Amino acid sequence: MKVSRWSILALAALFALGLAELALELHHVQVVDVAAFKADLAQQATRRMRKPGIRGRILDAKGGVLAESRARRDIVCDLSTFLKSGRLANTVTAVDDAITRLADALGFDRPASLTTERISRHMRTQSAVPLCVWRDLDETSLARFEERAASFPGFSVEAHAERIYPRGTFAAHLVGYTGRDRGTEDTDDVRMLAYELEMKGRAGLEAFYDDYLAGVAGAVRIPVDARGFKPRGAARDNIALGEMEERAAQDGLDLELTIDPDLQAIVEKQLVGVRGACVALDPRDGAVLALASAPTFNPNDFVPFVSAKRYRELSEDPDHPLLNRATAGLYAPGSTFKPVTALAAFRAGINPQDEYECTGVYKLGDMRLHCWNRWGQGPMDLHHAIEQSCNPYFARLGYLMGTNTLFRTAREFGFEAKTGIDYAPERSGSLVTPPFYPGLACQSAIGQGRLQVTPLQMAVECATLANGGKVFTPFLKKRADGSPPPEPVRTLTFKAEEIEYVRNGMRAVVEGLKGTGKAIGGLKVSCAGKTGTAQIGGGGKDTWIIAFAPYENPTIAVAMVVERGDSGGKTVAPRVHAILASIFGEKEE
Amino acid sequence: MLKKLLQFNWFTFLSMVALTVIGVIFIKSAGEARTVASLQDAWRLHAATALFGLILYFTLSFFDYRKILDLGSTPYFLISVILLVAVLAFGDKVYGGKRWLLFFQPSEVAKLAVILMVAKVFGRKRPTNTFLDLLHGLGLLALPALLILAEPDLGTALVLVPAILVMLLCARVCLRVLIPVLAACLLAAGAVLAAVHVAETTNNPQTKATIYRFLPLKEHQRARLRTFLNPEADPYGGGWNLRQAKISIGSGSLTGKGIGKGEQKFLGYLPPSVSMNDFIFCVLAEETGFVGASVVLALFGVLLLSGLWTALRCPDDRGRLTVIGILTLVFAHVYVNIAMSIGLMPITGLPLPFISAGKTFLVVLLAAFGIIQSVSLHREEES
């Protein structure tokens, strides 16, 4: 025979070896390396999806809600329901048709933005995530959908958080607004899928305390098929990979503010119809009781996205409603700066009793600084100069002390630096910008020259004078109960009687016979203040009041500016009176 | 009759039936991931085909294999060649190849024809060891193989080569030429792989162009060799099928995910177009794990070794060569199919015998094992 038994046995050995090799290799793949392949499967067959936490509320000092998250209801489309074999475009068309049919059945308009390109892009990038069809539906529309939902498989209602500002324009500059943005805390290499962009603070406290309010987004792993769709039918029923929570979402915290809602409302009322700002501080610790800027805006316009048209309107408005004048508006302080000059005079060794004859104008070389009283106010000492806001007197003080002493004192009050309030944006302003020139000290002494201050800095100045020399950092976030009272960042390096002398002068402004700010007074308590009327380019005036009350033991310090007013005493004093009267009441005649 | 029952090779028969039943189960399982009704029901057709094949099996085993070879092999061979020509002329074009004639694949039919023809020619009693005999044998292989290659179906053409070569080696056809030629072929295969490796890894486009001018490989063949040589290079392109096959098998772990619970097929990572054909072993290994895969390997072991037992007991060359040819063909299919899905061989479209959905191949296999059974039953009869 040609075919020997040995060749058959050799063939048997070959077969056996071949099968044994396969078994060995299979053992390697299925037993030794099993973890790697299981990991590969989990990696390719699941996607991480972001589940945001609920953003915290913003509350005023009395618990009133300034910003919160509400449940917004959307009709969404599960794309896998419409999955067609073949090209992706087939599925896109199926989804597109289904949306049109549903729109017809409900009598809704198809959202214009939901083009086939949008659907196609969504399908290519995150087909496992539901597609938002109609956003933010009211109860009637939802009821109409629920009646017909059974005949439209693949569509359902989902609730998602949306920001709402229940009081609209109230404290709008403080609260700020949110927009939508990509999450920032994604540290993974792979970007997570998400139903929509993350809610993110864009302005005001929403931005400043964004991390505090936002919480931490959670992540779930959802199974997907090879085309990135959610498995359905037999696939969903038979696979072991389920939706699982990888990291729980943490809700954001509520932000409680120091803002007194009643005071804030009065302050905003006093600013209606003008451009200006007002800040009220508690001089005992620096807590911001009210802070407003006018004109203002409605943060609800920014939810969930501000329309390009609305944003253009707001940003191109010559009145700059988006600017928070209280912290980022720069003004010349005018005569409200004079208490600083007055204190600096003590440092310069000037005797406050020394009299100076006001002739209505102060001359230095070619420079003329006029008093508000063209005819001159006659001889006066420091006390009366404060009371009657005498420009020549203070210009002469500036000349005598020079800029160094004046600005050193101003810096003690915190000018030329940000106050450090827990809010952005804040500007630091400036005391002087080069070049220096003769007469700068005289102009600066009366709050003109190159001085640039924010209303918030003026409120700090006022509070510092009110509490006898302690400079506090203003703050908006309410201190936790039982936490120690805040320490002042600085204490003025002046004697108590020197500060008291200036305070006394300020009381005369309100309560003296010739006081320029008598319109502030008429309260049940004794009050002190200072008017200011700053000349600005073009002949206009920015008008000021700083005031604190009660005189003996102040609980509030206010600074208010109104752009293009007549004078501090006429334009602003009645408004500040109204604010203080809401707290202390009118004096009964 | 009792003697016949004792001579019946029960091991071959039962392992064959077991493998066919496993095939039906996993074609059903792979079909569950499909949405087309005809594919969901493909297992019924496979089972029905198996029943038809079993009738053929018993019919052929009833006849003496010598008569089958003497009377049947030449007409069968000629008809096969005609069918292979016909498929090139009138076949349906599917996936870029002409493999289908009406409801069957002539290339599958031709596999058995070549084996029977070679067994008949070299099983004769007179010596067949001249160079001319070798050319005769190679010619019998080359004629259908080239026609199959023209379809084109490289895998099916290549899988015939080891079966026929093993038959020629066992029949000791001109070994002084055959063995050096075989060695040269192995060297050449190694050289081709090395050349492709150089061409694909070189940074010099001129070198690549030069190499491919002398290597007439089509782009998809190059891509497969490239993937085989470096599977990690392109996991989402050419490496996708291999990667998904390995993930399927690997994630099956020791005991599997349960029959019908394979995640890879349901999620569509294991390409649905091949999950019940060339990649059915992946479905099986994912759902039954290493245990199930080992059972299947063991069944193939029983099938092949018990078949060789029949060859060993057979007193003539014709029977031995027939059995050896068929078993080597089956072994080549099993080895290539499983080896490619775990990256030991380049991806080649070869079905797993008895298990992959493929009606022509199943009928041909059952017929072939009917002839092996005939060898077992009729070996002691006078020739």
- Taking one residue from A and the other from B, the number of pairs with CB-CB distance under 8 angstroms is 151
B170: nearest CA partner in chain A: A3
A84: nearest CA partner in chain B: B35
Residues 244-303 of B with CB under 8 A from A: 246-247, 249-254, 257, 260-261, 263-264, 266-269, 285, 289-290, 293-294, 297, 300-301
Contact A15 B324 (CB under 8 A): no
A366-370 CB contacts, 8 Å cutoff, 24+ apart: A367/A438, A367/A439, A367/A442, A367/A443, A369/A395, A369/A442, A369/A443, A369/A446
Helical residues (DSSP H) of A195-337, grouped into ranges = 204-208, 210-214, 234-238, 261-270, 308-316, 325-328
CA distance A32 to chain B (A): 9
Structure tokens at A523: 């309260």
Of B300, B334, B342, the CB nearest to A25: B342
**pLDDT exceeds cutoff 90 at A244:** no
Residues 81-120 of B with CB under 8 A from A: none
A28 band by pLDDT with thresholds 50, 70 and 90: very high
Chain A residues inside the 8 Å CB shell of B273: none
Q: Classify residue A433 as exposed, middle or buried by CB count within 10 Å of its CB (0-12, 13-18, 19+).
A: exposed
pLDDT, tens digit, 9 for 90 and up, residues B120-137: 999 988 888 889 999 999
Residue A545, helix vs strand vs coil: strand
Q: What is the pLDDT of residue B204?
A: 81
Q: What is the pLDDT of residue A348?
A: 92
CA distance B160 to chain A (A): 16
**Among B109, B245, B310, which residue's Cα sits nearest to residue A41?**
B245
CB A340, CB A403: distance < 8 Å: no
pLDDT, tens digit, 9 for 90 and up, residues A33-62: 999 999 888 888 888 888 888 999 999 999
Architecture of the domain defined by A261-298+324-477+490-584:
3-Layer(aba) Sandwich (3.40)
**pLDDT exceeds cutoff 80 at A204:** yes
Q: What is the pLDDT of residue B139?
A: 94
Chain B residues inside the 8 Å CB shell of A128: none
pLDDT exceeding 70 applies to what percent of chain A? 98
Q: What is the pLDDT of residue A126?
A: 86
pLDDT, tens digit, 9 for 90 and up, residues A311-322: 999 999 999 999
pLDDT, tens digit, 9 for 90 and up, residues A53-96: 899 999 999 999 999 999 999 999 999 889 887 788 999 999 99
Contact A11 B320 (CB under 8 A): no
Contact A11 B170 (CB under 8 A): yes
B321: nearest CA partner in chain A: A3
Of B170, B261, B339, the CB nearest to A7: B170
Residues 128-157 of B with CB under 8 A from A: 128
Domain edges within chain A: 5-32, 47-256, 261-298+324-477+490-584
Chain A residues inside the 8 Å CB shell of B342: 22, 25-26, 29
The pLDDT of B36-53, averaged and rounded, is: 91
Q: Report d(CA B329, CA B163) in Å as an integer.
A: 5
| A247 DSSP β-pair partners | A219
pLDDT exceeding 70 applies to what percent of chain B? 96
B323 band by pLDDT with thresholds 50, 70 and 90: very high
Q: Enter the DSSP assignment of B267.
A: T
Of B172, B267, B321, the CB nearest to A225: B267
Helical residues (DSSP H) of A241-307, grouped into ranges = 261-270
A242: nearest CA partner in chain B: B263
**Among B304, B380, B302, B368, which residue's Cα sits nearest to residue B60?**
B368
Q: Report d(CA A558, CA A530) in Å as an integer.
A: 11
Higher pLDDT among residues A337 and A587, named by residue: A337
Q: Report d(CA B343, CA B326) in Å as an integer.
A: 26
Chain-wide mean pLDDT for chain B?
Answer: 89
Sheet order of strands, A218-223 included: A46-51, A218-223, A244-247
Q: What is the pLDDT of residue B95?
A: 65
pLDDT, tens digit, 9 for 90 and up, residues B173-208: 988 999 998 899 889 888 888 888 888 777 888 888
**pLDDT exceeds cutoff 90 at A254:** yes
Q: What is the pLDDT of residue A189?
A: 42
pLDDT, tens digit, 9 for 90 and up, residues A408-432: 999 999 999 999 999 999 999 999 8
Chain B residues inside the 8 Å CB shell of A7: 169-170
**Out of A116-125, A267-276, A508-517, B210-219, least confident range:** B210-219
Q: What is the pLDDT of residue A29?
A: 94
Q: What is the pLDDT of residue A464?
A: 97
β-pairing, A177-181 vs A198-203, is antiparallel
* Residues sharing a CB contact under 8 Å with residue B366, sequence separation 6 or more, in sequence order: B16, B50, B53, B54, B56, B57
CA distance A160 to chain B (A): 29
ipTM: 0.93
Of B320, B335, B339, the CB nearest to A8: B320
Chain-wide mean pLDDT for chain A?
Answer: 91
**pLDDT exceeds cutoff 90 at B110:** yes
CA distance A428 to chain B (A): 57
pLDDT exceeding 90 applies to what percent of chain B? 57
pLDDT, tens digit, 9 for 90 and up, residues A529-546: 999 999 887 788 999 999
Q: Report d(CA B85, CA B99) in Å as an integer.
A: 11
The pLDDT of A278-293, averaged and rounded, is: 97
Chain B residues inside the 8 Å CB shell of A235: 33, 266-267
**pLDDT exceeds cutoff 70 at A518:** yes
Of A2, A11, A238, the CB nearest to B260: A238
**pLDDT exceeds cutoff 60 at B12:** yes
Radius of gyration in angstroms for the set of CA atoms belonging to chain B, rounded to a whole number: 21
Of B32, B247, B297, the CB nearest to A41: B247
Among A221-225, A237-241, B328-332, which range has the highest average pLDDT? B328-332
Give the phi and the psi of residue A51 in degrees, each rounded to 5: -120, 100
pLDDT, tens digit, 9 for 90 and up, residues A347-406: 999 999 999 988 888 988 888 888 888 888 889 999 999 999 999 999 999 999 999 999
Of B267, B297, B320, the CB nearest to A235: B267
Q: What is the pLDDT of residue B286?
A: 95
pLDDT, tens digit, 9 for 90 and up, residues B230-281: 766 666 666 788 889 999 999 999 999 989 888 888 888 888 878 888 999 9
**pLDDT exceeds cutoff 60 at A578:** yes
The top-level CATH class assigned to A47-256 is alpha beta
